[in-house]
Each structure stands twice: as structure tokens, then as C-alpha cells.
């Protein structure tokens, strides 16, 4: 028995030795590597960020608060009957970016750390622009440190960190910007210079946004303007940071197209009265591109124009002007799953023009060979060109019309910027709450007499992150849609 046992063990040992010698090789699935390359997450981070940002801009609160759309059914957005808004989607994108950067370090591809920082800054900036104070420095650490209850950072601290992150990313790409996989780069096809332009243009956006309370905002802007080699920015529509829509499935199709929005939802999304009236008053050639004429003017009870926008926060908005056949929806241009003119944008050249125009208008910034008036004109022209009506604007003397001809006021400038920012993130709402322009009014059936200035923190926070949530309230103020964040005070 003993001899048998020894023999048995020897045979087992021999067999086990032969089995385990190539164990790792034969049990490795080459189609599911344990370490992935950053290029894969790079594409995902770009497209998910762009598509989510654009979807917000077209049929969510930002579109209603920016007074672009009016919903004639289920219109709680413009009635201001808001509940708290979840932020998991933003943190999910941030985690994808962080994973990509970790992979970039492992595979010695620092270019994806730098571009990742631009994407991270974009997402976290949008987060704090919506909510104010939010978890940042301790966020995304559940795996690395086990911290699932991150503290909230002050918006001021988040902004200063992100501004530096963008500045550093630009410099990193200047010195070591090679190696971006053009096939993986859904935004700029591997062009590091374009990523640098985006980083510095985003800095201009952020600096203008916080210029009321950040003492160095305009001097930082001037530093960017003074050195275009070190700090390149957008200079034409070819620099626009946009991702195309494939139009193949719901997730890669324009939010207003048939794959995302059923006919009834598109029909209830009316052009706002503010938008249509401003376009009509200026005889703006973008009107016919953006807005559909009413089905009929016969039987209209209030507005007999061919284009009719619907006011916000009415008791029965579907009945306005004699019913929905007498109200304008958006044009078929916005009803496609994909089109040359429909892209998911991070930022466009027109916005940069208006930011610079406003900065020069304050007298605290100068732009070589430019004036506030010429930059204002550049911003309008870039938008007209984008929508294919540049020649029409010139032929009908649009720029010399009384309401368009430059008058040196912030009001006029922001109105034109607001038009150019149609369905561009939350820029229309953010500029309104910062400047008061355009001078939107609260509708008669609104739940409160003032416009909300932020999203409420997610309802899950008091349950899963109570101590940090209460500490944030003590610093930030009530978790209310009317509590002003740092740069609005």
C-alpha cells in the first residue's frame, strides 16, 4: 500500500508538472487581455463625453433654462419644478478617463495622460458648473484607497485646479505631443496642436465664467492671448471640437433623431418664443435653418406669423395660439440621426470670438489687430458660416441692421452669443445666470419667481455620503436650486 502510494504520488507529480509547465500560456485569452491599452478608453472617453454633453443641450434642463425649447407637455423643466439630479454619468466618464491615464502610465504613453487631463477638466468643470461644490480631490478613489465617502471641494478650489490642469496639459502636449492614435482620436484624429487649442480655449471659457470673483482672470486671459505659440486657441471653424454622429444606433445618433426621440416627443418640443422673436426681429437667416413654420396661420389666436415660438410656463402651453398646429417645432435639420451639420460639440470657434469680444469690451484685455467690435462680428460670421448662411447674411445687410450693428453693450453681445450657442452644452443658461442677458422672464405658471442657478445634489448623497454632504452644506449653503455658487456671488 505504501509502495502504491509512493508510485501514485510520483505519477501525479509527473502529470501535474507537465500540466502546469504551460499553464499560463494555454489559459491566457488573447481576446481579453489583463492590461488594455489607453487608445481603447480614449475613444470611449471622447465619444461618451461629447454625446452626453450634446444630449443635455438639446432636450434637457439646459435647453429649457437657456430658453431655446418650450415643452408643451411634461414641462416641469421650464416650470422650475425640479428634483435633485444624479451625477453618476459624469463620474463614470471621469473614471473611464482615469483608467485610461493609468494604462497610459503602464504602457509609457504620456500623451494620453495629457489629453486625458483635458477631458477630465472638461467633465469636472461641467460638474461644478451645474452643482457648485462637489467631490473632486477625493473622488474616484473607491478602488485605490477604499474611500467611498469623498469630501466635497469648494468650487473655487476645483476651478483653480482645473485651470492649472489645462495649462499643464497644453505644455505637456507642446513638448511631447506625438503618439496619439489617429484612429482612436474621435475628436482631432491625432493632432496634438488641436488638443492644445481646445485646452487653452476652455481656459478662456472658464476664466470668463469666474471673472467676477477671480482677480487674475483677465491677466490670465491676456497671457494666453499674448503668446499664440505657447498658448494656441481656436482661430476658425476648422478648430471646432466636435464629434460626428454615426447614426447607426441610439447611442451614436443625434438626440433629436428618430432613433432617440419618438415623433410625439419631437412634436412637443417647440421653439421658444424668446428664440423665435429674437430671430424674427433681426431677420436672421438662421431662422429658416433652425425653426419650422407653423402648419397653418389660419385660426391663430395670438401670433399670426409664419414662425411662432411658445412662451414658457403657461398653464396650458399646448393651447397657445390656437393649438399646436399654430406653433413652431424645430426644423427637419434637427430631426436626423446624423448629418454634416449635426455634431456633438465640446466647444466651437464662435464661442471663443464672443469670449474675447466680451473681455476686450471690459477694457481689461486687448487682442492684437482686433477690437471688441471686430471680434463680435467674427463670432456672428462664424455661426452664419457654420449653418451655411454666411453669404445670405451679407446680401441682406444683416450686420448693419439696427439690432445687430455693434453698439458696445454687453447685452447685444451676449444675445448674439446666445444665438450662436443654440444647443451647445449649457452655455446659454450659464451666460444668462452670469450676465442677466438675454433678459428672460419667468412664466406665469412657474413654480418659483426666479430662475434656478444650479442642480440640487443627488438624493442619494444624504444616504450614502451623509457626513460629507452635511459638511458641504455648512460651507456652500442650502442644497437648493437657488443657492448661488462661488463665481455667481
Task: Compute CA 254 distance to the chain's CA centroid, rounded to the nearest angstrom.
Answer: 15
Per residue in 423-476, pLDDT (tens digit) is 999 999 999 999 999 999 999 999 999 999 999 999 999 999 999 999 999 999
CA 365-370-371 angle, 5° bins? 70
pLDDT the model gives residue 11: 35
**Grid cell of 239 as nine digits:** 478648430
Dist CA 271 CA 264 (whole Å)? 15
Cis peptide before 438 (omega within 30 of 0): yes
Per residue in 270-280, pLDDT (tens digit) is 999 999 999 99
Return the minimum-mean-pLDDT range out of 11-25, 222-236, 375-389.
11-25
List, in sequence order, the alpha helices (H) in 176-272: 192-209, 217-226, 263-268
Contact 261, 274 (CB under 8 A): no
pLDDT the model gives residue 23: 37
Dist CA 443 CA 273 (whole Å)? 11
Dist CA 441 CA 422 (whole Å)? 18
**Grid cell of 40 as nine digits:** 481603447
**Grid cell of 420 as nine digits:** 450662436
Closest CA to 477 of 33, 131, 144: 131
Express as a percent the part of the chain with pLDDT over 70: 93
Dist CA 69 CA 89 (whole Å)? 23
E strand residue ranges, 32-84: 69-71
Average pLDDT of 206-231? 98
pLDDT the model gives residue 36: 79
Q: What is the CATH number of domain 38-255+339-443+452-463?
A: 1.25.40.390
pLDDT the model gives residue 145: 86
Give, in order, the Cα–Cα distances in Å from 282 to each of 279, 335, 355: 5, 25, 22
In three-state secondary structure terms, 349 is helix
In three-state secondary structure terms, 485 is coil
- Residue 299 DSSP class: T
106 Cβ contact list (under 8 Å, min separation 6):
35
pLDDT the model gives residue 25: 45
Q: What are phi and psi of 158, to 5 degrees?
A: -65, -45
Confidence band for 34, pLDDT divided at 50, 70 and 90: low
- 385 CB neighbour count, 10 Å cutoff: 16
Closest CA to 46 of 203, 188, 246: 188
Contact 254, 245 (CB under 8 A): yes
3 pLDDT exceeds 80? no
Per residue in 400-417, pLDDT (tens digit) is 999 999 999 999 999 999
Task: Compute CA 385 distance to the chain's CA centroid, rounded to the nearest angstrom.
Answer: 22
Give, in order, the Cα–Cα distances in Å from 135 to each of 102, 149, 267, 471: 20, 9, 38, 12
Domain ranges of the chain: 38-255+339-443+452-463
Contact 184, 42 (CB under 8 A): yes
Per residue in 139-178, pLDDT (tens digit) is 999 878 888 999 999 999 999 999 999 999 999 999 999 9
Beta-bridge partner residues of 152: 135
Dist CA 307 CA 319 (whole Å)? 16
| pTM (predicted TM-score) | 0.92
**Grid cell of 445 as nine digits:** 405658471
Count of alpha carbons within 13 Å of 333, Cβ hemisphere only? 18
Strand (E) or helix (H) holding 385: helix 372-386
Contact 212, 249 (CB under 8 A): no
17-26, 34-43, 294-303: which has the highest mean pLDDT? 294-303
16 pLDDT exceeds 70? no
219 pLDDT exceeds 70? yes
| Helix orientation angle between 38-59 and 111-131, rounded to the nearest 10 degrees | 30
Long-range contacts of residues 95-99, Cβ cutoff 8 Å, at least 24 apart: 95/140, 96/41, 96/44, 96/45, 96/48, 97/41, 97/45, 97/123, 98/140, 99/41
Task: Compute CA 70 distance to the chain's CA centroid, rounded to the nearest angstrom.
Answer: 20
Closest CA to 357 of 405, 414, 398: 414
Q: Label the pairing between strands 152-153 and 134-135.
A: antiparallel
Contact 191, 183 (CB under 8 A): no
Task: Compute CA 432 distance to the chain's CA centroid, rounded to the nearest angstrom.
Answer: 16
Amino acid at each position: 500500500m505504501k509502495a502504491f502510494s509512493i508510485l501514485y504520488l510520483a505519477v501525479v507529480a509527473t502529470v501535474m508538472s507537465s500540466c502546469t509547465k504551460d499553464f499560463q500560456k494555454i489559459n491566457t485569452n488573447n481576446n481579453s487581455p489583463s492590461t488594455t491599452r489607453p487608445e481603447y478608453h480614449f475613444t470611449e472617453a471622447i465619444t461618451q463625453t461629447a454625446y452626453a454633453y450634446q444630449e443635455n443641450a438639446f432636450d434637457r434642463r439646459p435647453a429649457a433654462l437657456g430658453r431655446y425649447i418650450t415643452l408643451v407637455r411634461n414641462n416641469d423643466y421650464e416650470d422650475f419644478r425640479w428634483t435633485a439630479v444624479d451625477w453618476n454619468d459624469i463620474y463614470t466618464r471621469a473614471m473611464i478617463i482615469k483608467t485610461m491615464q493609468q494604462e497610459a502610465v503602464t504602457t509609457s504613453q504620456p500623451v494620453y495622460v495629457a489629453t486625458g487631463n483635458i477631458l477630465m477638466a472638461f467633465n469636472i468643470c461641467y460638474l461644478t458648473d451645474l452643482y457648485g461644490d462637489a467631490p473632486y480631490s477625493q473622488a474616484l478613489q473607491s478602488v485605490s484607497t477604499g474611500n467611498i465617502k469623498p469630501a466635497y471641494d469648494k468650487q473655487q478650489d476645483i476651478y483653480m485646479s482645473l485651470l492649472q490642469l489645462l495649462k499643464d496639459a497644453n505644455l505637456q502636449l507642446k513638448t511631447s505631443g506625438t503618439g496619439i492614435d489617429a484612429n482612436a482620436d474621435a475628436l482631432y484624429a491625432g493632432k496634438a496642436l488641436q488638443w492644445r487649442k481646445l485646452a487653452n480655449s476652455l481656459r478662456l471659457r472658464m476664466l470668463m465664467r469666474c471673472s467676477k470673483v477671480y482677480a487674475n482672470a483677465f491677466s490670465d486671459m491676456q497671457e494666453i492671448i499674448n503668446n499664440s505659440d505657447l498658448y494656441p486657441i481656436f482661430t476658425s471653424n476648422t478648430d471646432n471640437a466636435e464629434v460626428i454622429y454615426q447614426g447607426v444606433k441610439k447611442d451614436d445618433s443625434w438626440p433629436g433623431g428618430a432613433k432617440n426621440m419618438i415623433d410625439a416627443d419631437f412634436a412637443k418640443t417647440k421653439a421658444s418664443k424668446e428664440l423665435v422673436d429674437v430671430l424674427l426681429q433681426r431677420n436672421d437667416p438662421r431662422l429658416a435653418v433652425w425653426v419650422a413654420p407653423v402648419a397653418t396661420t389660419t385660426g391663430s389666436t395670438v401670433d399670426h406669423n409664419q414662425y411662432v415660438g411658445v412662451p414658457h410656463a403657461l398653464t396650458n402651453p399646448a393651447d397657445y395660439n390656437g393649438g399646436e398646429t399654430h406653433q413652431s417645432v424645430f426644423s427637419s435639420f434637427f430631426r436626423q440621426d446624423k448629418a454634416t451639420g449635426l455634431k456633438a460639440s465640446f466647444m466651437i470657434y464662435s464661442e471663443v470670438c464672443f469670449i474675447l469680444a466680451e473681455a476686450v469690451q471690459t477694457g481689461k484685455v486687448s487682442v492684437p489687430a482686433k477690437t471688441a467690435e471686430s471680434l463680435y462680428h467674427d463670432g456672428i460670421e462664424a455661426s452664419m458660416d457654420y449653418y451655411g448662411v454666411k453669404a445670405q447674411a451679407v446680401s441682406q445687410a444683416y450686420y448693419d441692421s439696427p439690432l445687430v450693428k455693434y453698439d458696445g453693450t454687453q447685452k447685444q453681445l451676449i444675445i448674439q452669443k446666445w444665438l450662436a450657442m443654440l444647443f451647445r452644452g449649457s452655455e446659454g443658461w450659464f451666460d444668462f445666470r452670469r450676465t442677466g442677458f438675454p433678459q428672460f422672464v419667468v412664466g406665469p405658471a412657474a413654480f418659483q419667481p426666479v430662475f434656478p442657478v444650479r442642480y440640487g445634489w443627488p438624493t442619494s448623497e444624504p444616504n450614502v455620503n451623509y457626513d460629507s454632504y452635511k459638511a458641504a452644506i455648512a460651507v456652500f449653503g442650502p442644497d437648493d436650486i437657488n443657492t448661488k455658487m462661488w463665481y455667481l456671488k
